[in-house]
């Protein structure tokens, strides 16, 4: 493998495509973190990004060690293909430029995430509309036929059952994210309505041990001030209580927008 242009960011391809993004990012973090400090992991599920991810290390030497140590590694029953990224990540740029504050760097990354999230949303809408059109066509076919062959009926029933199972898995994933994790998670409140999990990931992925972000709808701790109208809340999960404490200390009171002071506390 050519190593002509070393970079602290690795491009990883040939990833398994059916794994949900939070699980995929957590697994990639566990696999690559022994080689050095990871400051960001970018994994896309749409817009041609299926089966691909970018692992951003704090140091280029750590990226090189990971590339040499993990190329060809079997990950979810597929051999990883790893190379240096051709472009510099936003996380790396913010570390190299001393004029960029942590808040400004996070906001710039958040803007990019919002743009990408919009594209992902549009792709999901297209897929949903296609699924609905297929279901309408199937219903018309059933209404216009007095007797359906047993094999065809079984096949359609199997498709519906598979869809129901996938929806059930999504619900179980959301429920699992709400379980107590021994103080290794943060409750973040008073976030603007347009804020989402991807934007929060862009903010907290710069802290060691970050795993994932999910929405939070339960009552807020008494230590949090009354949120603005329409505000959102999130759970931010870390691998250890120590890392979640560090992130809390550095983000408490963070302004996502003027007038939206974020409340942060240990779960």
Q: Calculate mean pLDDT across residues 36-63.
A: 86
Q: What's the number of domains the chain is made of? A: 2
Q: Is residue 157 part of a domain?
A: no
On the CB side of 104, CA atoms within 13 Å amount to 8
What does the pLDDT average to over 150-177?
56
**pLDDT digits 0-9 by tens, 176-211:** 444 444 568 999 999 999 999 989 998 899 899 999
Domain that holds residue 27: 9-96
Question: Is residue 250 a part of any domain in this protein?
Answer: yes
Residue 117 lies in a domain: no
* Interval 13-22: pLDDT, tens: 999 888 888 8
Mean pLDDT of 144-157: 54
Alpha helix positions (H), the chain? 21-32, 60-70, 90-96, 102-143, 150-177, 197-204, 241-251
Q: Is residue 143 part of a domain?
A: no
Q: pTM above the 0.85 mark?
A: no
Residue 259 resides in a domain: yes
Please determine, for residue 2, whether its predicted confidence score (pLDDT) is greater than 80: no
C-alpha torsion sign, points 193, 18, 49, 124: negative
Q: What's the CATH code of the domain at 76?
A: 3.30.70.330
pLDDT at residue 111, rounded to an integer? 66
Query: Which of 78, 96, 114 marks a domain boundary?
Result: 96
């Amino acid at each position: 493998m050519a190593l002509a242009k070393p970079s602290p960011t690795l491009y990883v391809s040939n990833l398994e495509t059916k794994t949900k993004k939070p699980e995929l990012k957590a697994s990639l973090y566990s696999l690559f973190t022994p080689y050095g400090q990871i400051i960001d992991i970018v994994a896309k599920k749409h817009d041609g990004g299926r089966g691909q991810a970018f692992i951003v290390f704090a140091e280029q030497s750590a990226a090189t060690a990971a590339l040499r140590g993990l190329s060809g590694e079997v990950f979810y029953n597929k051999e990883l293909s790893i190379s240096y990224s051709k472009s510099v990540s936003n996380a790396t740029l913010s570390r190299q430029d001393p004029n960029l504050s942590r808040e400004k760097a996070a906001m710039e990354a958040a803007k990019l995430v919002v743009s990408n999230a919009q594209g992902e949303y549009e792709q999901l809408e297209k897929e949903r509309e296609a699924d609905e059109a297929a279901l309408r066509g199937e219903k018309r076919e059933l209404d216009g036929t007095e007797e359906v062959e047993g094999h065809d009926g079984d096949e359609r029933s199997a498709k519906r059952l598979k869809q129901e199972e996938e929806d059930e898995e999504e619900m179980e994933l959301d429920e699992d994210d709400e379980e107590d994790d021994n103080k290794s998670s943060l409750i973040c409140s008073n976030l603007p309505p347009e804020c989402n999990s991807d934007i929060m990931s862009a903010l907290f992925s710069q802290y060691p041990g970050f795993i994932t972000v999910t929405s939070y709808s339960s009552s807020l701790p008494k230590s949090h001030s009354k949120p603005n109208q329409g505000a959102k809340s999130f759970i931010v999960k870390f691998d250890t209580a120590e890392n979640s404490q560090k992130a809390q200390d550095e983000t408490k009171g963070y302004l996502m927008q003027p007038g939206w002071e974020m409340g942060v506390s240990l779960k």
